[in-house]
Amino acid sequence: MGAAVSAVLWGGVAAGKGSGAGSEVVFWVDPASDAARQAAEWRRTGRTADALLMDRIATRAQAEWLTGPGPRAVVRARTTAAAAEGRTAVLVAYYIPHRDCGSHSGGGAPGAAAYREWVDEFAAGLGDRSAYVIVEPDAVAQTVAGCHRVVPEERYALLAYAVDRFERQANTRVYLDAGNSAWHPDPYRLAGPLRQSGIAGADGFALNVSNFQTDAASSTYGTTLSGALGGKHFVIDSSRNGNGPYTGTNSWCNPPGRALGVAPTTVTGAPLVDAHLWAKRPGESDGTCRGGPAAGRWWPSYALELARNARDGEDQPVAGPSS
C-alpha cells in the first residue's frame, strides 16, 4: 500500500493499491522493443531523421501482451526488469477461449480449465512486484455483441476468476476491458456484464484498447459507465488516437492517417481516469489488411506514419470530465 514516488513522465515507481488519478507512477520502457531496435538500425544505416521519429515510440512505455501458453516466465521477467529500475510494468492478459470472434488474431486457451491454469501461472509470475494488468481486451464487449462462439455465463465467470486472482497480488492494479465508445454507444449495456465479470473486485476498467477513439470521447463514455458501476475508475489506451478514429471502411484495422496520442502517464487531470496507457504497441499490425502483416507483427512503415503524424505536444494529457 506504498505511496507513489514522484518521477519523470516516461517511467515510474509503482504506487500501491491505493493510488489513482493524480498519483504519479513511472512505467517501465522496454529497451529491446521493436521500436527501439528499429531506431537503432536506422541510425546505423544513416536514416537519422526516421530514427528520431521512431524514438517517439521507442522511449515510451508500452504494454507486454501475454497471448500464449506458459506466461509465468515472461511476466516474471518483465516485472523484475521494471522493479530493478523502480518502475511499473504494464501487462495485457489476452488468452480467454475464443478471444477473437472474428478470428483476426485467433488463439486463446483451449478451454475453461486451461484458462484458469494460465491465469494462475500469470499471477505467480507477478509475485509482489508492481504491475498494471489489463484483463482480456474485447472479451466483455464482444460477448455483449453476440459472439456465437461464446457462452456468456462461462466467459463472465472466467473473467471474474482472472480479476480475483490478479487482485490478490499486493502490488497489481487490475483493469477489466470494456471495449470502446464506438462499439457499444450505450455504455449501460456493458454494466451488467461487467458486474458479472468481477468489476467490483477490480481497480477499474480499460477503454479504447487497440482502438482510435479520442481521449475526450473515452472520458465522457467512461464517466457514464463509471456512474453505472458505483464510481469505478478507468484507464484509456491513447497509443494511436492522436488523430481520432478513421471514418472509412475497416476503421479498426491499420487505418491510414492515424497518429500517436498522449504518452503514458498517471497524471491525467481527471479524477476518474487513473492513467493514459499505450496498451497497443504502436507499429504492431491489426491484421492482414491494407498491406499489413499478421496481427501483432511489427510493421515499421506504419509505425513511422504514426510517429510522423503526431502533433507537437502530443505527450500532454488531455483533461476529461471533472467528475
Q: Which of 34, 50, 100, 274 is catalytic?
A: 100
Q: Measured between alpha carbons, how far is residue 163 from residues 49, 138, 142 in Å? A: 43, 15, 18
Q: Which of 30, 34, 138, 315 is catalytic?
A: 138
Selection from 126, 124, 130, 149 nearest residue 138 by Cα = 149
Determine the Cα angle at 151 with ends 146 and 152, to 5°: 70
Contact 165, 120 (CB under 8 A): yes
Is 55 a residue of the active site?
Answer: no
Q: Which of 30, 274, 286, 315 is catalytic?
A: 286
Q: Measured between alpha carbons, how far is residue 53 from residues 78, 283, 303 in Å? A: 25, 12, 9
Amino acid at 84: A
Is 100 a residue of the active site?
Answer: yes
Crossing angle for the helix pair 112-126 and 72-84, to the nearest 10 degrees: 20
For cell 530493478, name the residue. 84
d(CA 33, CA 35): 5
d(CA 39, CA 32): 11
In b/e form, how buried is each residue of 131-148, taking b as 16+ CB within 10 angstroms?
A: bbbbbbbbbbbbbbeebe
Is 50 a residue of the active site?
Answer: no
In b/e form, how buried is each residue of 191-213, taking b as 16+ CB within 10 angstroms?
A: bebbebbbbeebbbbbbbbbbbb
Contact 295, 210 (CB under 8 A): no
Q: Which residues belong to the active site?
A: 100, 138, 286
